[in-house]
Structures are given as C-alpha cells and as structure tokens.
Structure 1
Amino acid sequence: MKIVIAGGSGFIGQKLTNFLLKKGHEIIILTRKAHMPSGKATYVNWLTEGASPEDEIRSADAFINLAGVSINQGRWNRSHQEQIYDSRMMATKELIRIINRLKKRPSVLVNASAIGVYPASQNTVYTEESREIADDFLGRTVHDWEKQAEQVEAAGIRAVFMRFGVVLGREGGALPLMVMPYKLFAGGTVGSGEQWVSWVHVMDVIRAIHFVLEKPLHGPVNVTAPAPVRMKEFGQTIGSVLHRPHWLPVPTLAMKWVLGKKSALVLEGQHVIPEVLKGEGFEFSYPLLQPTLEDLLVK
C-alpha cells in the first residue's frame, strides 16, 4: 500500500512510519524541511512556496494526517492557541487540495483527532455515538478539524477521525511530565483526583491506525484503552511501578497558575470507551494501566 503521512516526524509519526515500513508499505512523508535523511521512506516538500507535492506523489492508496502544532508544548495564550488551530486547518485544507489533484486518489484519509471534543465530566461515559461537543478551545478545535477533513467524503473517500486519548510513551506524549514529580519523590494527586484519564499506549495507537486502514470504517474512532482510570489511581499506579511515594497533592489553583488554560488537560477529563475498535475486533496489546506503565517505565 502506498501511504502518504503528514506529520511523520512527530512523536507518533516516527513510530508509525517505522511500523508501516516493517509491514512492507511504501511511505511518503510530507515535510517542510529542505533536507531529510535518506532511508526507506520518501520525503516530499509541502507547505512551502512553490511546492507541488501532488506532482511527486502522483497516486496514493491512503493519507494519514498527523500534522499540527503540539497541544502539549507552550502555554495556551491567545497566540499559541491560534497556532494550534490554524496549523490544523491549514494542513488539512492543503491535504484535501493535494488529494483532489492526484491522478489516482486514495480510498481513505485517516485524520488525527482528540477526545477533547467531548465535554469534561466525572459521570458521563462517551462513545463514538456521543454527540456532545465541548464548548471550549479544544472542543471547538477538534470539531472544526474533523469538519474540514470530512470534506474528502464528497469525492467518495472515506474519512476516519482517530480521537486520541492521553497517549503514553517513553520519549514523548504526556507520560514523561506526569512521571517527573515521582522521580523527584514529590508525586501526588493532581487537582481533585476524581477527573478521568482515558489513556492509551502509543503502540496501540500505531496498531489502531494500521487497523482502520484495512477496515471499512469512517467517522469517529476513539483511540483509548478500554479501562480508563481516575487521576488519583493513575498517580498511585505510577508511584507503585516506580516504587515512589504518592503523597504530595498538587492543588487546582497551583496547576492553573503554572499552566493557565492548558491546565484543563490535567484538571479535567473524559471517560471514553473505544466502542468502534472493540466492535471491529481490535485487540489492545496494553488494555490495563499497570502493565502499560511497567512496559514504559521499567523494561
């Protein structure tokens, strides 16, 4: 399969590229960088003046869109929020333009998304059938991002929105920052501790993306492990795995002072279940939190 990846140099993108190459797929990575290291993947310039990536791609079986400014980096002031939003809208709009110019169009666009589209709640359980949209920055961003990507369906191309939960990995994602206080013997409950953490191992994210490439799915797909936990249990499990105390609470006001609006990522949460993946027979390699953390923090 010939697969085009936007955002292939990021935390998830690098792992996905290596995984797909090992599966024997032909990979094209869209990049803004003038020179990229040679390897099994092909690099094509895009989003720069004079770039015409469609002329080099010519045809593709699938597109995967992971492009966009990270929500985990920087403080969520107005400027950074605009970068997060605009980068996603611009990249997706350009992908649709490229797809429409190809001689052979792909059958599927797999578009990154986030469970932040759902409102924060301690009681509601969200599945792909849930229609509630969070009335905040992240909710609006995800909603508009999915609507932009959905436009490819007018050309008969199925669009899949991979709503990632809190992605856990050794080198990136949320885990390194969550673990740091415990390594300093200063770990404890963040905020009330009752907020949900719908987490997922990064390799299950990679496997889920590959899974939907080969299944006739479209629309939202929650990419979260089937056993979310509350923040207090999440922290206690980190402490248990690292043999560190879970004792020093982090008050809500302190998190808001340090992180500003971005504090919502850790102070609020959603209880999300991956009903579509479960219904299609996808088997998580890491369905439970403790073995997941042992894999990422001990092995």
Structure 2
Amino acid sequence: MKIVIAGGSGFIGQQLTELLCSEGHSVVILTRRKKPSIGQVSYINWLIEGAAPEKEIEQADAFINLAGVSINAGRWNQSHQEQIYDSRMTATDELLRIIEAMPKKPSVFINASAIGRYPASLDHVYTEASTDLANDFLARTVADWEKKAQKAEKYSIRTVFVRFGVVLGNRGGALPLMVLPYKLLLGGTVGSGKQWVSWIHVKDVVRSILFALEHDNVRGPVNITAPSPIRMEQFGQTIGHVLQRPHWFPVPSFIMKIVLGRKSALVLEGQQVIPEVLMKEGFEFMYPSLHVALEDLLLKQ
C-alpha cells in the first residue's frame, strides 16, 4: 500500500513508518521541512505557503493522521492548550481538503485520538461502546477532533479513530519521566495510587494501527490500550521490581498539581479502558502484561 502519514516524525510516527516499511509498504510523510526520499519513504511539504501536496500524492491507499502539538510537552497554560487544540483541527482540516482534491480517494483514514475522552473513574470500565464524555479540556479536544475527522466518511472512506492510552516507549512518551525517580531511588506512589493507568507498549500501538489498516471490519473508535489496565500504585511497584529499585517515596497530589498545574490530571486521574474492538477482531498483543512490557523497554536497551 501507499500510505500518507501526517505527524510521521513524532514518537509514534517514526516507529509506525519503520513497521510499515518492514512490511513492504511505501510511506509518504507530510512535513513542513522537506527531505530527500530514503528507500520506501518520501517527504512532501504541507501547511506552508505554496504547498499543494494533493498534486504530488497519487494513488494513495490510506491516510494516517498523527499530527498535533504534544500534550506531554510544556505546562498546560492557556496558550499551550490553544496550540494543542488548534494544531489538531488545522491538520485535520488540511487532510480533508487534500482528500477532497484527490480524484482517487484513499480507502481508509485513520485519525489519532485519546482515551482521555472518557471520564476519570475508579470503578467504571470503558469500551468503544461507551458514550460517556468527560467535561474537561482533553475530552473536548478529542471529541471535536473525532467529529472533524469523521467528515472523511462523506467520501465513502472507512474512518477509524485510534484512541491511544498511555503509550510506553524509550524514544518518547510518558515512560522516561515515570522511570526517572526510580533510577534516582526516589520512586513511589503518585497521588492516591488508586487511579487507573490504561497503558500500551509502543510496538503494540504501531502494530494495532497496521491491523486497522489491513482489516476492513475495523472502523469507528478503537481503544489502543493493553488488555490489562493497572492501578497507579501497582504500576509504580512494577517499575521498581523490574529495575530492582525501591518503591517507597510517595508523591502527594498537591505536589503534582503545583509542578504540572492542570496537566496533573494526566497522572492523578485515569480510566480503566479495555480494547474490546481489537480483542474481538483477533489482534494478538506482543506485550499483554505490564511486567513483560517493562522488561522489554527497560532491560533490553
């Protein structure tokens, strides 16, 4: 397949590109900084003056939208929240414009999303069938993002919303910061410790995106999480066990709120999310348990 990726230079995008190429696909990455083609990967300018990527993209089979300012970088002040929101809306609008201009439409459009749309809860279990929507910044951003991306369906394009959980990897994401206190012998429970962490190994993230590309039955929301969510206290204990470091230095909620501000909700609150669609469609996780995932990420470097 010929696959167009927006956000291909990011944490997930880089590893997705590697996987797609290893499977024999060709990848077109939309970028503001054009580079020479390398093997199966080519680069096309977009979102800059004079760029008209639709004139260079021909016979594309799929579009994948991972573009947007990272929610992990920086403090969630008003300016950063506007950047997070606007970058996603702008990128998705441009992808829809490109698709509309293409004589031959792609068969599938996969749009990034997040489990942050579900309300925080200590006892509720969420699947793709859950319609509950949290009343906060991240949930509103996700809801608007999915609503905009859904416009691809008017072109008879199979549209998938991949709702990422807490993605664990060495090149980015949340894990390096979560592991650092343990390496300094300061690891411990964050907040109450009862909040859920619906995590997933980055290799299973990109494999699940490939799975969605290749399976026509997959459409609409898809939770991209491991089948075994875990509470924050057990998450930290597992890090300590894998690294053979103590888990004893608690971090109270008020400290996280002082340090992270509104973004502290990402670690102090959580949802128990199950990847029901992937499980029903027969997706096989390489890392179904946290201990196995952390051993791979922390001990096999």
Pick the TM interval, shorter chain: over 0.9
1:189 touches 1:250 (CA, 8 Å); kept in 2?
Answer: yes
Partner of 2:274: 273
CA contact (8 A) 1:59 1:103 kept: no
2:179 counterpart residue number:
179
CA distance in 1, matches of 2:37, 2:150: 33
In 1, Cα distance between the equivalents of 2:121 and 2:174? 20
Distance 1:55 1:37 in 2: 17
CA shift, 1:35, in A, is 3.6
1:37 positional shift: 6.5
Deviation at 1:36, TM superposition (A): 5.2
Give 1:103 deviation, angstroms. Answer: 1.9
Q: Secondary structure at the match of 1:58?
A: coil
Structure 1 segment 193-212 matched on structure 2, within 5 A: 193-212=193-212
Q: Which residue of 1 aligns with 2:237?
A: 236
State how far apart, in whole Å, the 2-side matches of 1:223 and 1:45 are.
29
- Alpha-carbon contact 1:109-1:158 (below 8 Å) kept: yes
* CA distance in structure 1 between the aligned counterparts of 2:35 and 2:182, rounded to whole angstroms: 40
Match of 1:141 in 2: 141
CA RMSD of aligned residues (A): 0.8
The aligned residue for residue 263 of structure 1 is: 264
* Number of residue-to-residue matches in the alignment: 299
Write the distance in 2 (CA, Å) between the matches of 1:137 and 1:92.
18
Report deviation, 1:38. Answer: 3.6
Partner of residue 192, structure 1: 192
Distance 2:34 2:62 in 1: 24
Aligned partner of 1:94 in structure 2 is: 94
Structure 2 counterpart SS, 1:57: coil
Structure 2 counterpart of 1:155, which letter? Y
Q: Is 1:247 paired with 2:248?
A: yes
Structure 2 distance, partners of 1:35, 1:201, is 29
- Letter of the 2:228 partner, please give it: A
SS, match of residue 75 in structure 2: coil
SS at match of 1:111: strand
Q: CA deviation at 1:111?
A: 0.5
Is the counterpart of residue 221 in structure 1 residue 222 in structure 2? yes
Q: CA deviation at 1:39?
A: 3.9
Structure 2 gap segments, 5+ residues each: none
Instruction: Map Cα deviations across residues 84-141 of structure 1 (whole Å, 9 max, x no partner).
Output: 0000000001000001111211011000110001000001000000000110000000
Aligned equivalent of 2:30: 30
CA displacement at 1:59 relative to structure 2: 2.5
SS of 1:159 mapped into structure 2: strand
Give the CA deviation at 1:218. 1.1
Whether 1:10 aligns to 2:10 is yes
Q: 1:47 matched to which residue of 2? A: 47
Q: Is 2:56 the counterpart of 1:56?
A: yes
Identify the range of structure 1 (55-64 vs 33-42) with the bigger mean alpha-carbon deviation: 33-42
